[in-house]
Copies of this chain bind each other. A is one copy, B any other.
């Protein structure tokens, strides 16, 4: 099944928003074994939307559009559908009710313009929208499946998963393309390549790709074959070989995040944790608590941004800060010990560093970061040297700190 994704909105062509919608849709379709052949973005212009949908209609068996379904005047998708599919708009009382109920739940009265949302092209079906007021539209015409979804990511995602994918699953043959992502951190792309070059270059159906980001490098293995059991075995064999070489650099697979992996380790090892952050300013806490259930292993955190707060809360001696500097191995260790004592947890984790752009010196350049860890077995700090830019330095520091915890936990 060949699919096209059309994202609608001037903001995409102007670059005012990131087109995460087509990424999400592509991901879901790929998992089902549906081939995405074309991604198009058009502006809020009725003629261009008409064109995009018409072109796709001539080529594809599945079209998913996002955007342009809201009640405001720049939302034109429904008008384009009327034109391209030659169908009238019909008023549906029960849709109006749903929209009104949605507003009522939030204690609001429905503005009049939302009445438009009860108008639906003749012969089409509705895709329910639990999060917003605009319902989606589903049209089946000969071999073509057409879905129009709203552009607000949370609404679109829920509707795709609950309303669209179940229909698609019935219409397609079993997937024959398999992916596997091995997620590494703390090692450069080219260093990985050199280590596993032989495996990459060996004659095989498995395709390799290396995807670097601030969080690390993902190694993606892909295989397409009619025999899905054989594919699984081949991917598993490559994974085994790569794991033998890269070992601890691999922290997870596929959609796993480092904070998930650390959370699972903390649960398994029955160990709890607290954090003391300086340059990351709460990012580590925010990552950890993004996981539902993290209260089972995350007790508290402090964001000790000022020197005073390091002394007050963590009992880091003012003289130590004066002597070694707030960004030093000694202070990182003292912070980790301080937060462990304060919180009464098994592990205390600390980060102190120079995020930049200011605050660097010859001796201690921007990008210098120390991660400290304290436990009943003692304390240590590890030094990292990142780049010159504030944003990636903070991202990398948070990831490096979580990785220090992971490496500590797997040896427990």
Chain A, 192-221, contact with B by CB distance < 8 Å: what is the 0/1 string? 011001001100000111111110001010
Contact, CB under 8 Å: B18 / A20: yes
Chain A, 375-412, contact with B by CB distance < 8 Å: what is the 0/1 string? 00000000001010111101000000000000000000
Contact, CB under 8 Å: A10 / B385: no
Range, interface on chain A: 35 or more
26 A-B contacts (beta carbon < 8 Å): A11-B211, A13-B36, A14-B222, A39-B39, A71-B193, A73-B200, A73-B201, A74-B210, A108-B188, A108-B191, A111-B193, A114-B190, A154-B389, A154-B391, A280-B289, A281-B286, A285-B305, A289-B303, A290-B391, A292-B357, A292-B358, A293-B358, A295-B306, A300-B302, A300-B306, A302-B313
Q: Please indicate the chain B residues that have their CB under 8 angstroms from the CB of A12 in the complex.
A: 23, 26
Contact, CB under 8 Å: B39 / A14: no
Q: Please indicate the chain B residues that have their CB under 8 angstroms from the CB of A179 in the complex.
A: 14, 16
Contact, CB under 8 Å: A194 / B113: yes
Contact, CB under 8 Å: A15 / B25: yes
Best-buried of A282, A285, A358 by chain B (most CB within 10 Å): A282
Q: Which of A270-329 touch B at CB < 8 Å?
A: 275, 277, 279-286, 288-290, 292-295, 298-306, 308-309, 312-313
> A24: shortest Cβ distance to chain B, in Å?
6
Q: Please indicate the chain B residues that have their CB under 8 angstroms from the CB of A220 in the complex.
A: 10-11, 16
- A282's partner among B18, B107, B197, B282 (CB-CB below 8 A) is B282
Chain A, 50-87, contact with B by CB distance < 8 Å: what is the 0/1 string? 00000000000000000000111110000000000000
Q: Please indicate the chain B residues that have their CB under 8 angstroms from the CB of A337 in the complex.
A: none
Q: Please indicate the chain B residues that have their CB under 8 angstroms from the CB of A15 in the complex.
A: 22-30, 36
A40 within 8 A of B: yes
Chain B's closest residue to A14 (CB) is B30
Q: Please indicate the chain B residues that have their CB under 8 angstroms from the CB of A89 in the complex.
A: none
Contact, CB under 8 Å: A210 / B301: no
A252 within 8 A of B: no
A262 within 8 A of B: no
Q: Which of A333-359 touch B at CB < 8 Å?
A: 342-343, 355-358
Q: Please indicate the chain B residues that have their CB under 8 angstroms from the CB of A13 in the complex.
A: 26, 30, 36, 39
A101 within 8 A of B: no
> A31: shortest Cβ distance to chain B, in Å?
9
